[in-house]
């Protein structure tokens, strides 16, 4: 039951859901994430940490960058089911489309190379 509570808390915030939605499609470094979401570094770190501790994300270091992606392979059943549901949902949402456009611009500006 504790795991389900942790997962529910991680998905109880719209920003974290939007982050996970983007991370289901591709890897994003923390520097890129800061350009997409107007959060302070502590807020960004806290949100990513909650998603990671719930089992939704994995990360690795790429030079000075910390890179995140949805952990579809080793996530538990709850996380996998919710990620599948989220992946299939809200694809035409104005907010999701804007987030994807911002990510595309950030990737084009090669923010990851600069961080």
Return the CATH number at 88: 1.10.10.10
Run of H or E residues at 14: helix 14-23
- E-only strand ranges, the chain: 28-29, 57-62, 65-70
The answer as to whether 88 is a domain residue is yes
Q: Which tens digits make up the pLDDT trace of 43-80? A: 999 999 999 999 999 999 988 889 999 998 876 888 99
Residues spanned by the domain of 17: 2-102
Mean pLDDT over the full length of the chain? 92
Give pLDDT, residue 115.
Answer: 66
Task: Please give the Cα distance from 63 to 94 (Å, whole number).
Answer: 34
Contacting residues for 66 by C-beta, under 8 A, at least 6 apart? 29, 30, 59, 60
The answer as to whether 111 is a domain residue is no
The answer as to whether 36 is a domain residue is yes
pLDDT at 112 over 80: no
The answer as to whether 55 is a domain residue is yes
Name the pLDDT band for 114 (thresholds 50, 70, 90).
low
Task: Please give the Cα distance from 7 to 2 (Å, whole number).
Answer: 9
Give pLDDT, residue 76.
Answer: 83
Q: Which tens digits make up the pLDDT trace of 23-41? A: 999 999 999 999 999 999 9
The pTM of this model reads: 0.93
Count of domains forming the chain: 1
The answer as to whether 83 is a domain residue is yes
The answer as to whether 110 is a domain residue is no
SS3 83: helix
The answer as to whether 114 is a domain residue is no
The answer as to whether 68 is a domain residue is yes
């Amino acid at each position: 039951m504790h795991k389900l509570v942790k997962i529910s808390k991680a998905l109880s915030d719209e920003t974290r859901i939007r982050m996970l939605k983007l991370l289901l499609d591709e890897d994003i470094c923390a520097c890129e994430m800061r350009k997409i979401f107007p959060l302070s570094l502590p807020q960004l770190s806290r949100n990513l940490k909650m998603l990671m501790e719930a089992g939704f994300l994995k990360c690795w270091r790429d030079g000075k960058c910390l890179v995140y992606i949805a952990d579809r392979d080793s996530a538990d059943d709850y996380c996998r089911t919710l990620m599948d549901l989220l992946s299939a949902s809200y694809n035409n949402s104005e907010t999701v489309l804007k987030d994807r456009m911002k990510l595309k611009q950030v990737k084009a500006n090669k923010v990851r190379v600069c961080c």
